Amino acid sequence: TCEEPLNQGTKNQSPDNQTFYDEVMQGLRMSPKQLPSKYFYDAIGDKLFQDIMNCEDYYLTRCEMEIFTQQTGQLVNSIMESDEPFDLVELGPGDCTKSIHLFRGLIKAGADFNYLPIDISQNIIRHLEKELPESVPGIKVSGLNGEYFSMLEQLSHQAGNRKVVMCLGGNIGNMTIEESHAFCKGLRRYLTPGDMLIIGFDLVKNPAVIRNAYDDREGITRRFNLNLLRRMNRELHTDFSIDSFEHYCSYDPETGACKSYLVCLEDMQVHFHTETVCFKKDECIWMEISQKHTVEQIDHMAATNGFQRFRYLTDSQNWFVDAIWVA
């Protein structure tokens, strides 16, 4: 019943499910309730995210793609400012549709580099190691399957070349400003002076444009959010009534925080393995933050975490920036 305090975790879950379960419960104990957006990406979520990236209202992917196709030369020149061989480390490479333009540019310019994609998905790593050498002849790929920081830690114990780290797609947007500072500071500890960071930020812009990107007319983002409830029903054997939740997105132009919620439409009890969670009518679960930045904030982020601004590449609408920083 709803009066019972929530227990800590449960047995009979596989280790991976146990972490998923624990993190979900931890979020649901907060006020307002939260769910971790990193769990959006199961097989169905990956597919829905692909659809988001291709949808009319979601501009981020198109903007960054424009930078990588139209300003490849600037990217290549920035990286080759030093003629030392380098390790190109990419955090969360996806299918490399953007970075592949950079690879081709680098190879054409005769750059001497290894490509080291880091991803928690073994599938992505296997796929890239097999496919990239076929589509980019001459590339040397050596994938790392694991969490960003533990793989960087592992790399730091090996003798390596100077590093160029890439974190594209505005992935840092899923962190609050505070969390992104900690992330940059954490990254910096794995770099030595002269190393580079290429990091994508979504910029503040007309608030309606931002809101539409996270509440698209085709309802893909809505399905993307609801899929986490479906995933919990499948993997954690919960009984969320999916139809009783509605997607809601807010954007605050004062803070640049775009937040998505699932609104519960009626009083409801949801059963977890050993506990029950109550939702009130109109209660909101905070699902995701997509933080937007100003260039001033980005400069500040660099300066306070041990980086120097090197070059900023933006798309023609000035909606997205790939910042190049030097450690």
The CA distances from residue 182 to 110, 175, 193, 309, in Å, are: 35, 10, 19, 18
Per the structure block, which two tokens stand in for 163?
């590093």
The CA distances from residue 273 to 8, 17, 25, 240, in Å, are: 11, 12, 11, 13
Calculate Rg over the CA atoms of the chain: 21
Q: Which of 71, 78, 212, 221 binds ligand AVJ (CB under 6 A)?
A: 221
Question: Could you say whether residue 121 binds ligand AVJ (CB under 6 A)?
Answer: no
Q: Are 103 and 136 in contact (CB under 8 A)?
A: yes
Question: Could you say whether residue 214 binds ligand AVJ (CB under 6 A)?
Answer: yes
DSSP classification of residue 87: E
Question: Could you say whether residue 171 binds ligand AVJ (CB under 6 A)?
Answer: yes
Q: Which of 94, 105, 143, 173 binds ligand AVJ (CB under 6 A)?
A: 173
**Residue nearer to ligand AVJ on the CB measure, 88 or 249:** 249
Rounded Cα distance, 317 and 312, in Å: 14
DSSP classification of residue 77: H
- Residue 161 CA neighbour count, 13 Å, CB half: 17
Question: Could you say whether residue 174 binds ligand AVJ (CB under 6 A)?
Answer: yes
- Residue 149 CA neighbour count, 13 Å, CB half: 8
Taking CB under 6 A as the binding criterion, the range among 6-14, 69-77, 156-164, 170-178 that sits at the site for ligand AVJ is 170-178
Question: Could you say whether residue 170 binds ligand AVJ (CB under 6 A)?
Answer: yes
Quick note: the x/- pattern for ligand AVJ over 245-284, rule CB under 6 A, is ----------------------------------------
DSSP classification of residue 6: P
**Residue nearer to ligand AVJ on the CB measure, 290 or 314:** 290
Taking CB under 6 A as the binding criterion, the range among 79-87, 148-156, 167-175, 293-301 that sits at the site for ligand AVJ is 167-175
Question: Could you say whether residue 227 binds ligand AVJ (CB under 6 A)?
Answer: no
Residues interacting with ligand AVJ, by CB under 6 A? Answer: 52, 60, 169-171, 173-174, 214, 221, 224, 288, 290
